[in-house]
Amino acid sequence: MRSYWAAHELLEMNDFLRKLIADIELHALCYEMTTNPELQSILMRHIQVMHTEYNQAINLLQNKELAMAAVPAYRSPFNYNPQIGLQNQQIVPSPTYNGRRLSDFIITTLGSVLGTVSVNESTDPDIRAFLTMCVNNCQQMAYEVWQHMNARGYYEPPEMPAGAVREMMQVFQPAVHGYATASL
């Protein structure tokens, strides 16, 4: 067992574990509340990933042992084709004041939150690698939820007019001279 820890790393790992516990419980609650089978499947996969990350974090914290191969990169089994432009925009439901049930819309919205502070505070290479993998998994899972929302018309990014696209593409030009080509 590792006997030395930078104070902020130990605090960050504790915060990370608390966040994972909260995320697992929130996902489990949302799983029970949703009526959409595809969303249930997404939530269950996310719970399984977070469960693995939680156990790996405990192992890293208590034993300072980590097999990076045991922290697989998350990949969604779905291959969505994001819709750009307001083609099938759904009306966002107004708030309900039911303290017993969340709507599927709210459940998908809750799934898109991501935090990366822990990685920025880590000096130990193993801890940093572990937290980086977990953050990457989190953003992959958030993107999967966004794709689910997009496929149902809850989040369709408006398409930019072609003229504006052309203008914006011309705003930046390649650097001609600079430090990259200068000899020091």
What residue ranges define each of the domains in the chain, with the CATH number in brackets? 7-169 (1.20.1260)
Enter the tokens of residue 164. 């504006």
Other beta carbons within 10 angstroms of residue 112's beta carbon come to: 15
Give the predicted TM-score (pTM) of the model: 0.68
Please tell me the predicted confidence (pLDDT) of residue 112.
46
Cα 131 to Cα 125: distance, rounded to the nearest angstrom: 10
Please tell me the predicted confidence (pLDDT) of residue 110.
66
Mean pLDDT by 10 residues, the chain (184 residues): 68 85 90 92 93 89 63 70 69 73 71 55 78 85 85 81 85 73 56
Cα 133 to Cα 82: distance, rounded to the nearest angstrom: 25
Please tell me the predicted confidence (pLDDT) of residue 167.
86
Q: Report which of 59, 78, 69, 90 is spatially closest to residue 152, judged by C-alpha positions.
A: 90
Please tell me the predicted confidence (pLDDT) of residue 71.
62
- The number of C-alpha atoms within 13 Å of 28 and in the hemisphere containing its C-beta is 10
